[in-house]
Structure 1
Amino acid sequence: MGQSSTRGEGTRPRVPGPGRPGRDDGLSAGSPGTDRPGPGGPAGGRRSHKQQTPRRRARRGKRRILRWVAGAAALLIIGTAGAGYLYYRHLNGNLQKSALNLGAHQVPKPTANAAGQTPLNILLIGSDARDSKENQKLGGAKSTFGGLPLADVQMLLHVSADRSNMSVISLPRDTVLKIPKCTDENGKTYAATGWTLANESLGRGGPGCTVATWESLTGIHIDHFMKIDFSGVVSMADAIGGVPVCVDANVYSHTRDGHGSGLKLKKGTTSVKGQQALQWLRTRYGFWPDTDVVRTKAQHEYMNSMVRQLRKGTKLTDPGKLMDLAESATRALKVDNGIGTVKKLYDLAGELQKVPTSRITMTTMPNVNSVRPGFEEKVDPKAGDADKLFAMVRDDTPLDGKGAKKKKPAEKVSDDPAAPKGDIGITVRNGTAGDGGLPSKGRAGEIATLLTGQGFARAAADQTLDPQKNTEVLFPSADLEGDAQAVAKAMGVPLKSVKKSTQVTGVTVVVGSDWRTGTVFPKSTADDGKTPDSANALHGDDESACMNVDKAYTWTA
């Protein structure tokens, strides 16, 4: 379990085990973008059916196809997924399909708004499978051939209920979490895991287990998934024709011991396509500070640039190229059964196309270095910030800060009067390991001392560890609610954190992982409608993005 998943691009044991490392330089879940309806051509004069020549009918057919495909190109924003009705039956046959969610417990759909609309959540999965000659050539690392695939790129795309905005959350592949029980479509069951890496979910029954893992982690209902592999990214990037990306210095992602994606670019902006696009999306060694997290930033730059490029109408205007893209996209994708036809993908494209580029926001799950033994080089969700980001998506709050401010509900004050401070018995417990990390030593004693200093003479530390994420003040019966609220006010803890519990016998303070240090309770920003700074938000219309190159990977032209 303690092995590193960052040994280098394309390296991992042949036979995967429960704690095997993830592969490096994972591919992007896809290359997004949308397009406006393509040109249909002039109507021309009327002809009878008999007068129409085969050539003219063919031209009209091509124009119709072009219109269909240009509209469906909106799906490029979620993995270069669809290309309309081209060769409808043939393309349907290309699509691979499987069950949406293989987990035992699933998050219910959100309640519709007043207009009857619900948000749309799509999980994009990039697989590093070396399961074909083409993928083996692109992925390298012969020792990995035939091994279980890893979900090395995972992005949740959230489209608001009113289709006015879109949010993307990337989950670093080295995130430490627990994978729930999954049962594949053949009936094979994979038991729930202990702490492990996020990218291992794909090898436990398929994309449906990755979906189940996301729902377990975030509490967000997922409507669809799309999975793509190395060769799919290359073929679709070729068909699209190039995406501008920027580096602030010459970069060559290559190390003496053979690690690196192989990306070699000059300082400034370069249009990348094909294998070079894949290299950009996989690069870790070269972008400062050479972490899996910074790789998601490069992927966001690529995706936003793709969207802008296609919406300018400068790409995909040739029917032949559109046919190539359609063929490549449908062969490269695996989708859930709910969107398993080109018609359904086309309809989905129509929903995505409604979102303006300026209202697209790319983020990465806020994270910190893991404190769990054996996972020191990996990352944990950042307490508070990660929860807030997930909650904003659950509540359909725009991540670009342009949503209407929600009125905070007034805190309910108990009718039960509080006893004098000196008469209130208080037990304080240490719950700071609630985020999965190690508990902060002596934390219960520190808060007990804080309370006695404020006049609560009967406050005492309990050595019992009671891990939980959020600090709470618990009380067993209605006649102690006023006392519990008085204690909460003295500490600066919001009254919503005062709760009745049959698990305590008196007023009990459990200091959660949201208050690991200090004597002033951290001010909550959970309801301010602002995306945490630690999410590194990048907006769709920001053309200034440019990757910071690690000086160790520069070269002289």
Structure 2
Amino acid sequence: MDAQSRERADNIDPADQWVLNPDTGEYELLLSPSTPQSTVPGPRGNAPRGEGGAARRRAAAPQSGRGVPPQRRRGAPEEPLPGRRGRRPAKKKPKAKKALLWTGSGMAFILVAVSTAGYLYLKHLEGNVTTTDIGSAGKSGFSKDEAFNILIIGTDKRTGQGNEGYGDAGSAGHADTNILLHVSKDRTNATALSIPRDLVVNVPDCETTQSDGAKKVIPGTDDVRFNTSLGQDGRDPGCTMRTVKEVTGVEPDHFMMVDFNAVKTLTTAVDGVEVCLAHAVNDKDSHLKLPAGPSKVEGEQALAFVRTRHSWGNQGDLDRIKVQQQFMASLMRKMSSSDTLTSPTKLYKLAEAATKALTVDTGIGKVSTLKDIALELKKVPPKNISFMTVPVRDNPADGVFHKTVIVDSNAAPEVFDAIKNDVSFTAVKARERTEKAAVAARLKGTKSAASEVRVRILNGGAAAGSAQETLTWLQNEEGVTKSENGGNAPAALAKTTLEYAPDQAAQARRLAAIMGLPGSAMKPGKSVTNSQGLPTMTLTLGKDFQEAGEPLGASTKAPAVDKSTADKVNCAS
């Protein structure tokens, strides 16, 4: 029987064997001696200061060939060693405190082990994610304090088991499904804008990074389908991001790309996704067979659901986009449900499936960054996540056979501007109240005389000559004589702005009243220096500027569009 076994047999509390070593500050396990111990008392009084405890332990260490009295059992009176003065037994610490120390040490070890395992698992997940270097097409990092735009690309690449037979088996992976996800700066709302794969666009030149690290510029092409912005001629997701900016004016910060397999693995990880059909479907092309009403799909059946086209609406891609949006909303609800979030098994499966399914840019290639993005998106209430499609119309070049679409030049610019200006497509009441109060406060207060207003006028997207026209009008008709033409602004703006320093607020209110500027156009900031070296405000005429003297009714409301929200269940029709 070993020492520990004997101690248990002798009914000794294991916690009693853990004592604090004053030399190291750590707890050590001291077992009772199992071999004879010296009966000669150790030297007293000659141990260096601070080493008494250690010296006594060394003196008590087992030494061969010398006898010791039998070990004292619990409850037996302690007898003095022969040749040594009798001494009182050492005062023991309460058992409760010893047990706490024992438990605390164990918990500390467990916490270290868990944190180490968590780190290793995080690195494991990171190894699942595929990254692509898109150079200057995206941002190098992610900010939790700013609005952000992520381009989600679903490719038609036939990788993965069982996917070889779908459509073009040799596809390089084109941009088949595309969603520009905009998340507002205050996280009150988000917009998921679908871009049709058959939208006719101009794909710009784009620089790509080859496998050996070399850079190669892929020439752009005009009047082609949007889906060719990826895969065609070696184009990478950075080319698709540049195409999105070319079409919408909205610049994606990052991209996330998935293929057919992702739909199967993600839906399986959450034990299926609820969908609803307005009518029964038996599609011979996608092999989707579902009854009318609610159903749950996962794996192969889920992929068939998002691929089905001929069973919805006019059997075109635009109606399929609506069905895919409904599917994504349902998947989002399932992933964020308590049933998923409280199940370690489902979370593990979801983490594995999601990371293996993703290809992202190097700017968000770390799992910790992907987690941050997910947490920021989770702050947005589902009722304020809007799904919509780029406003389009049939391409007249197709004749009677409508195969492609073009951007609706009347309706689309308003949608693009709303996204660029971080405007919600849902009624975010708290935000509206805050904005209205801030706007009202900017317009209230004293106003300077027109002759005291000093302003520099820039053209930031208005018609050519607008800055000079406005200058002439202000000086000759409104008495704003301390004004000058500053030429073109560094960049075009969707909305006209008036930037001013705090001490120029009275001047800003006067100019706003003269020009009919809304409070939202007034931007507290800093002044600049005019041609005479004096501080001046900056009026930048944006694309919304019509002509001098016409009030600007800049709106913080988004245009009316055909949309759905992530909180509602819609039946595919």
TM-score, length-scaled by structure 1: 0.59
Report the Cα offset of residue 471 of structure 1.
11
Report the Cα offset of residue 354 of structure 1.
1.1
1:378 aligns with 2:404: yes
Report the Cα offset of residue 343 of structure 1.
1.1
Q: Which residue is equivalent to 2:301?
A: 276
Distance 2:135 2:240 in 1: 8
Q: Which residue is equivalent to 1:87?
A: 121
Per-residue CA distance 1:16-51 (angstroms, 9 max, x = gap): xxxxxxxxxxxxxxxxxxxxxxxxxxxxx9962665
Distance 1:95 1:234 in 2: 17
1:298 aligns with 2:323: yes
Q: Secondary structure at the match of 2:338?
A: coil
Q: Contact between 2:208 and 2:235, CA under 8 Å: does it hold in 1?
A: yes
Per-residue CA distance 1:92-122 (angstroms, 9 max, x = gap): 112111124565xx89999x9xxx9421111
1:237 aligns with 2:255: no
Distance change (3 Å), C-alpha of 1:93 and 1:311:
closer
Q: Secondary structure at the match of 1:288?
A: coil
Q: Which residue is equivalent to 1:37?
A: none
Q: Which residue is equivalent to 2:175?
A: 151
Q: Secondary structure at the match of 1:315?
A: helix
Q: Secondary structure at the match of 1:299?
A: helix
Q: Which residue is equivalent to 1:353?
A: 378
Distance change (3 Å), C-alpha of 1:192 and 1:252:
same
Q: Contact between 2:126 and 2:355, CA under 8 Å: does it hold in 1?
A: yes
Return 45-54 or 308-317, whichever deviates more. Answer: 45-54
Q: How large is the RMSD of aligned CA atoms in angstroms? A: 4.1
Residue pairs, 1:91-490, within 5 angstroms: 91-100=125-134, 117-137=145-165, 140-141=166-167, 144-186=168-210, 187-203=215-231, 204-254=234-284, 260-315=285-340, 317-372=342-397, 376-402=402-428, 404=432, 478=469
Q: Contact between 1:369 and 1:378, CA under 8 Å: does it hold in 2?
A: yes
Which amino acid in structure 1 is aligned with residue 257 of structure 2? Answer: K
Distance change (3 Å), C-alpha of 1:102 and 1:134:
farther
Per-residue CA distance 1:42-62 (angstroms, 9 max, x = gap): xxx9962665699x889x959
Per-residue CA distance 1:137-172 (angstroms, 9 max, x = gap): 4xx23xx33332111000011110011111110011
Report the Cα offset of residue 540 of structure 1.
2.0
Q: Secondary structure at the match of 1:351?
A: helix
Report the Cα offset of residue 135 of structure 1.
3.2
Q: Which residue is equivalent to 1:48?
A: 103
Distance change (3 Å), C-alpha of 1:471 and 1:286:
farther
Q: Secondary structure at the match of 2:397?
A: coil
Distance 2:139 2:555 in 1: 22
Distance 1:228 1:481 in 2: 56
Which amino acid in structure 2 is aligned with residue 293 of structure 1? Answer: L
Q: Contact between 1:172 and 1:292, CA under 8 Å: does it hold in 2?
A: yes
Which amino acid in structure 1 is aligned with residue 358 of structure 2? Answer: L
Distance change (3 Å), C-alpha of 1:330 and 1:475:
closer
Which amino acid in structure 2 is aligned with residue 382 of structure 1? Answer: D
Q: Contact between 1:102 and 1:184, CA under 8 Å: does it hold in 2?
A: no
Q: Secondary structure at the match of 2:230?
A: helix
Distance 1:325 1:295 in 2: 26
Q: Contact between 1:242 and 1:271, CA under 8 Å: does it hold in 2?
A: yes
Distance 1:108 1:330 in 2: 20
Distance 1:315 1:479 in 2: 59
Q: Which residue is equivalent to 2:35?
A: none
Q: Which residue is equivalent to 1:541?
A: 567
Distance 1:314 1:281 in 2: 24
Distance 1:173 1:293 in 2: 9
Q: Secondary structure at the match of 1:343?
A: helix
Q: Which residue is equivalent to 1:16?
A: none
Return 305-314 or 153-162, whichever deviates more. Answer: 305-314
Distance 1:328 1:475 in 2: 55
Distance change (3 Å), C-alpha of 1:475 and 1:47:
closer
Per-residue CA distance 1:191-229 (angstroms, 9 max, x = gap): 111100001111142111111111111111211110000
Structure 2: 5+ residue runs without aligned partners? 1-99, 444-449, 451-460, 474-494, 497-551
Distance 2:305 2:373 in 1: 28
Distance 1:480 1:338 in 2: 45
Which amino acid in structure 2 is aligned with residue 270 of structure 1? Answer: S
Which amino acid in structure 1 is aligned with residue 133 of structure 2? Answer: A
Q: Which residue is equivalent to 1:428?
A: none
Which amino acid in structure 2 is aligned with residue 370 of structure 1? Answer: N
TM-score, length-scaled by structure 2: 0.57
Report the Cα offset of residue 362 of structure 1.
0.8
Q: Secondary structure at the match of 1:188?
A: strand
Q: Contact between 1:339 and 1:345, CA under 8 Å: does it hold in 2?
A: yes
Q: Secondary structure at the match of 1:225?
A: strand
Q: Contact between 1:101 and 1:209, CA under 8 Å: does it hold in 2?
A: no
Distance 2:413 2:139 in 1: 16
Report the Cα offset of residue 350 of structure 1.
1.8
Report the Cα offset of residue 541 of structure 1.
2.0
Which amino acid in structure 1 is aligned with residue 238 of structure 2? Answer: G
Structure 1: 5+ residue runs without aligned partners? 1-44, 66-83, 255-259, 416-469, 483-494, 497-523, 549-557
Distance 1:205 1:332 in 2: 20
Report the Cα offset of residue 315 of structure 1.
2.3
